[in-house]
């Protein structure tokens, strides 16, 4: 189990995190959400002991986290641009004292579709391939804790699927995964729990299964004619659509039927998403 206990951090006089505490069991994928500047990266770096803590501690299995058991995929890629892909990974395997390094490197290059680039300089790779190389660097030492800060940046749909498959595999291997992303759709597919940071604190900590059980339902239509109904608890008006939060399933079903009778096009009907929950805290 990973335990985060009363973590706090200030930059000058600005409080970034205040008494942040939570635990994560093995085999769980947790999404840490929040706006820019909410402290997600600061939290990740303190968990990995890459940033000094003002207060608090982080332990895994009751011990301090060591470098060898944690993998980090940072938001800003930190790759050696003048190395070849193979040289870069050989350096990483050497630092981490990985046995059978050639076999391990080859396995990952083929797995990530980078085998043809093994002798290419890192700076010549596309953004997507550099991101895949960063993922290999994160995972090649087989870490027990994996922290990913905006891992889908620069990826197309096909490569997002590759990343999602690797994250699902980590769950099968009973690893702990912490992940942040401004792209909610991919993380909604894989995560077990959401932690939302706001104003230096945890504003929301909810398991996905409990979010799906919530009585309120969401309906979105691509229609700018606003509906008024006593069962609508909130609505969000976008450029081409309106999203309604309806108090319960029965009321939502009746409203959806009425919309269809009025020839309105429903683009979403179902449980609240994490975006809905955050938006209407």
For range 75-93, the mean pLDDT: 93
Cα angle vertex 146, ends 144, 152, to 5°? 155
Query: What confidence tier does 146 reach under pLDDT thresholds 50, 70, 90?
Result: very high
Q: Who's near 274: CB < 8 A, 6+ residues apart?
A: 31, 33, 184, 188, 194, 196, 206, 208, 211
Total number of domains constituting the chain: 2
* Per-residue pLDDT at 37: 86
My answer on whether 113 and 12 are in the same domain is yes
My answer on whether 38 and 80 are in the same domain is yes
Residue 172's CATH number:
3.40.50.300
Q: Which of 207, 227, 249 is the last residue of a domain?
A: 207
pLDDT at residue 175 tops 90: yes
How far apart (Å, rounded) are the C-alpha atoms in residues 238 and 268?
A: 14
My answer on whether 67 and 146 are in the same domain is yes
Contact criterion met (CB below 8 Å) for 218 and 212: no
Query: SS in 3 state form for the chain?
Result: CEEEEEEEEEECCEEEEEEEEEEECCCCEEEEECCCCCCHHHHHHHHCCCCCCCEEEEEECCEECCHHHEEEECCCCCCCCCCEHHHHHHHHHHHCCCCCHHHHHHHHHHHCCCHHHCCCEHHHCCHHHHHHHHHHHHHCCCCCEEEEECCCCCCCHHHHHHHHHHHHHHHHCCCEEEEECCCHHHHHHHCCEEEEEECCEEEEEEEHHHHHHCCCEEEEECCCCCCCCCCEEEEEECCCCEEEEECCHHHHHHHHHHHHHCCCCEEEEEECCHHHHHHCC
Contact criterion met (CB below 8 Å) for 73 and 154: no
My answer on whether 195 and 219 are in the same domain is no
* Per-residue pLDDT at 240: 86
**pLDDT tens digit string along 9-52?**
999 889 999 999 999 999 999 999 998 889 999 999 999 999 99
Q: Which of 207, 241, 264 is the last residue of a domain?
A: 207
**pLDDT tens digit string along 217-271?**
999 999 888 888 999 999 999 888 999 999 999 999 999 999 999 999 999 999 9
My answer on whether 33 and 130 are in the same domain is yes
Look up residue 221 and give its two tokens. Answer: 């239509």
Number of residues written out for the chain: 281
Tell me which residue range forms the domain holding 59.
2-207
Query: What confidence tier does 202 reach under pLDDT thresholds 50, 70, 90?
Result: very high
């Amino acid at each position: 189990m990973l335990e985060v206990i009363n973590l706090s951090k200030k930059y000058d006089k600005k409080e970034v995190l205040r008494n942040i505490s939570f635990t994560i069991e093995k085999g769980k994928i947790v999404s840490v959400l929040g706006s820019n500047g909410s402290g997600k990266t600061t939290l990740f770096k303190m968990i990995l002991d890459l940033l000094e803590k003002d207060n608090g501690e982080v332990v895994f299995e009751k011990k301090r986290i060591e470098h060898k058991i944690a993998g980090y995929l940072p938001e800003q890629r930190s790759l050696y641009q003048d190395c070849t892909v193979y040289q870069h990974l050989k350096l990483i395997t050497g630092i981490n004292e990985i046995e059978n390094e050639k076999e391990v490197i080859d396995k990952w290059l083929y797995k990530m579709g980078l085998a043809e680039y093994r002798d290419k300089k890192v700076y010549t790779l596309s953004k997507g391939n550099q991101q895949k190389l960063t993922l290999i660097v994160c995972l090649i030492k087989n870490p027990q804790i994996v922290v990913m800060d905006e891992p889908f940046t620069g990826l197309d749909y096909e490569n997002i699927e590759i990343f999602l498959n690797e994250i699902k595999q980590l769950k099968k291997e009973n690893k702990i995964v912490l992940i942040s992303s401004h792209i909610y759709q991919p993380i909604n597919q894989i995560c077990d729990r959401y932690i939302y940071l706001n104003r230096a604190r945890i504003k929301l900590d909810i398991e996905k299964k409990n979010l799906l059980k919530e009585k309120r339902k969401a309906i979105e239509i691509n229609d700018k004619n606003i509906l008024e109904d006593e069962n609508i608890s909130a609505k969000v008006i976008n450029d081409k659509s309106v999203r309604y939060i309806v108090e319960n399933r029965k009321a939502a079903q009746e409203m959806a039927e009425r919309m269809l009778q009025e020839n309105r096009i429903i683009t979403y009907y179902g449980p609240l998403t994490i975006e809905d929950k955050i938006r209407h805290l």
